[in-house]
């Protein structure tokens, strides 16, 4: 599939059934498959090729990218970037502008994707993953917590 403005991107909201291809791609990319989106989650899909799953916190204008995956046969052609930028536009339109994620420090492809989409490193969690690998933390959008909540 050619990646461009015509790339079909759909949003799957809480309560909608998860397509089988998402489950298959979830297993291929991460070794495990998550269930249909919960009430506080949303998925953006490029049918049969890619998905991105988010947790949404509308009250605070925050969202966390939980998983993004492109079918191995379609990686490296700009699809991940097209999908992530579409998510970012939709989220911003809904007032969700403080974005967060964590990623394995060894995941060069994902880290490059996040960087080209405007994300900045903001921390690291030591031995975060079950195999002992560290997680790098990234954020997008200026996030400065209300000092009152820190007291």
Residue 4 as a binder of ligand COA (CB under 6 A): the answer is no
Residue 78 as a binder of ligand COA (CB under 6 A): the answer is yes
Residue 55 as a binder of ligand COA (CB under 6 A): the answer is no
Question: How many residues in the shown chain lie near ligand COA by CB under 6 A?
Answer: 20
Residue 19 as a binder of ligand COA (CB under 6 A): the answer is no
Distance from the first to the final alpha carbon of the chain: 52
Q: Which is nearer to ligand COA, 76 or 145 (CB)?
A: 76
Element (H, E) at 111: helix 108-116
Catalytic residue IDs? 102, 114
Residue 63 as a binder of ligand COA (CB under 6 A): the answer is no
> Strands of 10-13's sheet, edge to edge?
10-13, 41-46, 50-57, 62-70, 98-104, 135-140, 120-125
Please, what is the minimum distance in Å from the beta carbon of residue 151 to ligand COA? 34
Residue 29 as a binder of ligand COA (CB under 6 A): the answer is yes
Q: Name the region of 58 (left: φ>0; alpha: ψ -120 to 50; beta: rest).
A: alpha
In the block, which residue shows the tokens 């998983």?
A: 67
Q: Which is nearer to ligand COA, 30 or 95 (CB)?
A: 30
Which token pair is 143?
Answer: 């996030």
């Amino acid at each position: 599939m050619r990646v461009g403005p015509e790339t079909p991107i759909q949003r799957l909201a809480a309560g909608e059934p998860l397509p089988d291809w998402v489950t298959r791609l979830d297993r291929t990319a991460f070794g495990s498959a998550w269930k249909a989106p919960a009430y506080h989650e949303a998925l953006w899909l490029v049918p049969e090729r890619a998905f991105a799953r988010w947790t949404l916190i509308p009250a605070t204008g925050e969202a966390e990218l939980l998983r993004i995956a492109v079918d191995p046969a379609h990686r490296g052609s700009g699809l991940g970037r097209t999908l992530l930028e579409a998510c970012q536009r939709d989220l911003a339109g809904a007032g969700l502008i403080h974005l967060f994620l964590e990623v394995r420090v060894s995941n060069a492809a994902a880290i490059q994707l996040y960087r080209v989409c405007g994300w900045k490193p903001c921390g690291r969690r030591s031995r975060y993953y079950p195999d002992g690998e560290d997680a790098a933390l990234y954020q997008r959008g200026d996030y400065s917590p209300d000092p009152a909540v820190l007291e």
